Amino acid sequence: MSHIDVDAIADIARGAAILGAGGGGDPYLGSLLAERVIEQTGPVELVRLGDLPDDAVLLPVAIMGAPTVIVEKPPAGGEFAAAVAAVAASYGATVTHIACLEAGGLNSMMPLLCAAETGLPLVDGDGMGRAFPELQMVLATLDGISTTPMAMVDDKGNTVVLNTVDNAWAERLARSATVDMGCGACIALYPMTGREAKTALVPGTVSLARRLGQVVTTARQDHRDPAGAIVSEMDGRMLFRGKVTDVERRTQDGFARGEAQLAGINEDSGHTMTLCFQNEHLVATRDGDVVASVPDLICVLDSDTGEPVTTESLRYGFRVTVAGLPCHPRWRSAEGLELVGPAYFGYDHDYVPVEDLAGKGMSHV
């Protein structure tokens, strides 16, 4: 895939929403926004991470804020181009490529929109290999790359440029500004060279997202289980099949936080599952036992269609399949777990890879 046209968008958005582990924003909304812009500007060039010149200047972009709010207040248009220009001015270099900050439904589409608006190519990769709720939770932080200069632009045209002492402070100050901007802002951050990007980005995630979207489509056409097909494709684990019996959700400090309760059906009848989330699903427990935990991906899929269900769209009565997928290997290092492991989010259990928890009611499809 050397270019992304309108026909590829639906599959990319669906696959990225699966990788987003419930976060990254609404994929359908993202698809509509990206399709509208690409219909006007033409296909977006997609560049392999390994083909980047070492002196390229790459800039990841995303929407920051609570997904529950962004669904109701999407970008008005032009915010990303303004954010890119603001970072370029502060960084003192011309931006040559756009990238995804995270793999997520809406946040896989916003870099497409930005690339189309600016006429710049998009890099086939992202900063996380999934979606995480906070800005410092990227491989670039492990490599010592600064979040700033970072630009934030809201739908009213306000622009904030941050230069901070470290990446945790960038998250802290940007989160406060996002709340003042109405819990949603278009951001551009982590400017880096092509040489830096080759280790600071997860390669091939845009292409992977499209492939996962196509896996779901093909499974439906062949009358196979789409969730099972995804688990097989990603060497994951099937965690639970059930019906949503309760969702407690609140918007707090610029995040969508809460819990969902599931009652088992079919082979999981008589069992329960709890999903804890902060924009993304962080922990899944089955009958009180942890069966998957951040940084591994906890993905909720509609049991009939295989469509990913985001944390803001999860509702009572939904019949869903919960799958656990392995995260990028660097997140399992001591440094990675310090940044994105369960302890960071306040959980007192040790991280165990999802594939090693297969004895607790999970199956390998």
Q: Tens digit of pLDDT for each residue in 215-229? A: 999 999 999 999 999
Answer with the residue of higher pLDDT: 252 or 292: 292
Percent of the chain with pLDDT over 70: 97
Residue found under tokens 């962004």 = 70
Q: Three-state secondary structure along 180-213?
A: HCCCEEEEECCCEEHHHHHHHCEECHHHHHHHHH
Q: Whole-angstrom Cα distance, residue 330 to residue 228?
A: 26
User: Domain 3-205 carries which CATH code?
Assistant: 3.40.1610.10
Mean pLDDT, residues 268-290 taken together: 95
Mean pLDDT, residues 345-359 taken together: 88
- The pTM for the full model equals 0.92
Mean pLDDT, residues 267-289 taken together: 95
In the structure, what pLDDT confidence band is assigned to residue 340 with cuts at 50, 70 and 90?
A: very high
For 256-267, what is each residue's pLDDT tens digit?
A: 789 999 999 999
Whole-number pLDDT of residue 359? 53
Say if residue 364's pLDDT is above 50.
no
Ranked by mean pLDDT, the top range of 61-75, 221-235, 248-262 is 221-235
Find the DSSP H helices in 131-247. 139-142, 167-180, 194-200, 205-221, 226-234
Whole-number pLDDT of residue 27? 85
Q: Are 202 and 128 in contact (CB under 8 A)?
A: yes
Instruction: Give me the amino acid identity at 6.
Output: V
Whole-number pLDDT of residue 363? 38
Domain boundaries, the chain: 3-205, 225-357
Whole-number pLDDT of residue 264? 97
Q: Whole-angstrom Cα distance, residue 322 to residue 302?
A: 9
Mean pLDDT, residues 62-74 taken together: 80
In the structure, what pLDDT confidence band is assigned to residue 17 with cuts at 50, 70 and 90?
A: very high
CATH 3.30.1360, domain 225-357, yes or no: no
Residue found under tokens 């608006």 = 117
Percent of the chain with pLDDT over 90: 84
Say if residue 306's pLDDT is above 80.
yes
In the structure, what pLDDT confidence band is assigned to residue 362 with cuts at 50, 70 and 90?
A: very low
Say if residue 365's pLDDT is above 70.
no
Whole-number pLDDT of residue 122? 98
| 137-169 residues labelled b (16+ CB within 10 A) or e (exposed) | bbbbbbeebbbbbbbbbbbeeeebbbebeebee
- Give the chain's mean pLDDT: 93
CA gyration radius, the chain? 19
Angle at 138 between CA 135 and CA 142, to 5 degrees: 120
In the structure, what pLDDT confidence band is assigned to residue 250 with cuts at 50, 70 and 90?
A: confident
